[in-house]
Structure 1
């Protein structure tokens, strides 16, 4: 008589929280030691040194406490030791007491500070609300969470390089087609009205490109990486090929630069797109009622990601359903209905792993043995 196979041990939340906080604290200390190379010049202007030190100290204390408790309970000890060990190294390197001189100007730098702070607050906000109001109950440590975290890391750390590429492309077009008359007309508007107009213009440009991604085979191979996710949550939206990021940001920001929108309006739009892009992918079952007809909500965008033949060419907007109505691509089922499955229609066309997905659009292979969703197809 054979016994039933033992169920796999459950993952310890405390151990993984300790590992995340410990590694983040270590990255934070390195940012204090090498601010010119590791921190984003534009993002440094948003927060103060005192705030960064307090956040770092809180992370160190929490990493030690959660890691120690997980070790004492005997749950995921290796993961907990990674958190405690990383925090200990951070303390040895100076912890929250590292002092530095004036930051010199450098031609480029990484955005480790943007990654650490963004990850901390995104997880702090979205993990609890996704646990309380989920579309599909699942752990934050769901399948392929490491892959999406790697995308989150790359997208934030390389933010300045992306901005350099975007700025170069938009500035070149601006020099060719800029109209001072149009710029003067835009700039004569109050900033709040410029912001609303910028959201509409940028969303229309993004939606047109987004539809091209879906209907142009060679562009779809890049965009398929984003649609390959089988689990929708706040982290899933980070899964995006780097070349798609550059192309999309260029096309979206180009009309705003060419038309002469005020920097305050453009910055407001950039903040909005960052927040709404995360919210649209969140595993958040909220009934927004009539707002679904005005703003893109999680249910609206979830249906765009649905593995459903009736929804492969709809809901391209990321801000305003009005844009989809103008394009003839607006579609929502009755209130309360959510997709039962996410992912590309042909699962075998997107391989597993960040490196394989980075190479996939540029390779001749069209199907893969180890593909996203193979185990739950």
Structure 2
């Protein structure tokens, strides 16, 4: 007997209802649940308007789904979460002036990033998919858990990365070189920063594939059997901290301006999602200039002849210099994704988080 397809309305209702509940909690405990750096990006009025939209939509879509008899338990999660959010104050919840704290969670960053990423990429992937598939595809809950942890712990990651890079950079000072780099226009610094960072990351990326201990962490990322905008979030926390620290270090040591580094960080966020997206767009000659979805999809291909190629995340030039550039025939895509030995990486967020720390497994 064929299992009926999951109800989009029910799952959207659940997603919006739970997000609205998290949003209300952010208003109640802003010092603990919201990131100071990210609070500067949006206004209170914007947050309240988005919260109101989420509450109304969760109620309406959940009710419709329940009346249709489609995934009623899931729809009840959306309606129930929205109702609880309203009881806790809803879009009119009051909050006191925000106190300064040493550490806080980025729950606001998670909610807003998830909402707008889904709003942009789900429709695009439906229209331009390499292989049509539901956003509720196999493994989506695991990837959503990684998305949640990566965003909620953003300040922890930032503190760990800043501490490690600052400590090392303190022993490597090149005043003349820093002054020269900072005298260049911001756009020149940005382009050079992208090249330096991408070369650093590609070298580390290759080490992830060749050093067994590092592969135990990186294999989690390659365990995704489906590729879409959410799949790129599947990264072990240890790999996130190690990669960001290693990539940021030369930028700090060489003295790139804060504007150039911030612009690079924005590029990383956009291209990391785009490179994994389920988009069949043919970029033609641009695939020799920028890393595109097809270019990076082949890095994830479950094929022995592609396990040591296409390490760059921004510039194919980096792979050309490393001798790891491979551009497959135009219009071709991998038949299958994942590690070569599927049994070496377990399924589920918590089992994958523990796996690299347990006994060694070759894959």
Counterpart mapping for 1:263-274 below 5 A: 263-274=258-269
Offset of residue 363 of structure 1: 1.2
Offset of residue 365 of structure 1: 5.2
Q: Helix, strand or coil: the match of 1:268?
A: helix
Q: Helix, strand or coil: the match of 1:176?
A: coil
Please name the residue that 1:358 is paired with.
Answer: 353
Please name the residue that 1:3 is paired with.
Answer: none
Are 1:70 and 1:76, in contact at CA under 8 Å, matched by a contact in 2?
A: yes
Offset of residue 367 of structure 1: 7.6
Pairing partner for 1:69 from 61, 64, 67: 64
**In 1, Cα distance between equivalents of 2:5 and 2:320:** 46
Please name the residue that 2:109 is paired with.
Answer: 114
Pairing partner for 1:294 from 279, 289, 306: 289
**In 2, Cα distance between equivalents of 1:241 and 1:279:** 19
Pairing partner for 1:193 from 176, 188, 213: 188
**In 2, Cα distance between equivalents of 1:265 and 1:101:** 35
| TM-score, scaled to structure 1 | 0.95
Please name the residue that 2:28 is paired with.
Answer: 33
Offset of residue 8 of structure 1: 1.1
Are 1:71 and 1:80, in contact at CA under 8 Å, matched by a contact in 2?
A: yes
The CA RMSD over aligned residues, in Å, is 1.0
Please name the residue that 1:374 is paired with.
Answer: none
Corresponding pairs, count = 363
Are 1:350 and 1:367, in contact at CA under 8 Å, matched by a contact in 2?
A: no
Pairing partner for 2:93 from 82, 95, 98: 98
Question: Structure 1: any 5+ residue segments left out of the alignment?
Answer: 1-5, 369-377
Q: Helix, strand or coil: the match of 1:75?
A: coil
Are 2:14 and 2:58, in contact at CA under 8 Å, matched by a contact in 1?
A: yes
Counterpart mapping for 1:130-141 below 5 A: 130-141=125-136
**In 2, Cα distance between equivalents of 1:37 and 1:183:** 37
Are 2:297 and 2:333, in contact at CA under 8 Å, matched by a contact in 1?
A: yes
Q: Helix, strand or coil: the match of 2:184?
A: coil
| TM-score, scaled to structure 2 | 0.99
Please name the residue that 2:315 is paired with.
Answer: 320
1:184 aligns with 2:148: no
Please name the residue that 1:204 is paired with.
Answer: 199
Give structure 1 regions of 4+ aligned residues with deviation exceeding 3 angstroms: none
1:175 aligns with 2:170: yes
**In 2, Cα distance between equivalents of 1:77 and 1:23:** 16
**In 2, Cα distance between equivalents of 1:8 and 1:351:** 25
1:227 aligns with 2:222: yes
CA distance 1:75–1:367, change in 2 (3 Å): farther
Range with greater deviation from structure 2 (345-354 or 114-123): 345-354
Are 2:216 and 2:361, in contact at CA under 8 Å, matched by a contact in 1?
A: no
Are 1:348 and 1:367, in contact at CA under 8 Å, matched by a contact in 2?
A: no
Please name the residue that 1:372 is paired with.
Answer: none
Are 1:133 and 1:285, in contact at CA under 8 Å, matched by a contact in 2?
A: yes
Offset of residue 101 of structure 1: 2.2
Q: Helix, strand or coil: the match of 2:171?
A: helix
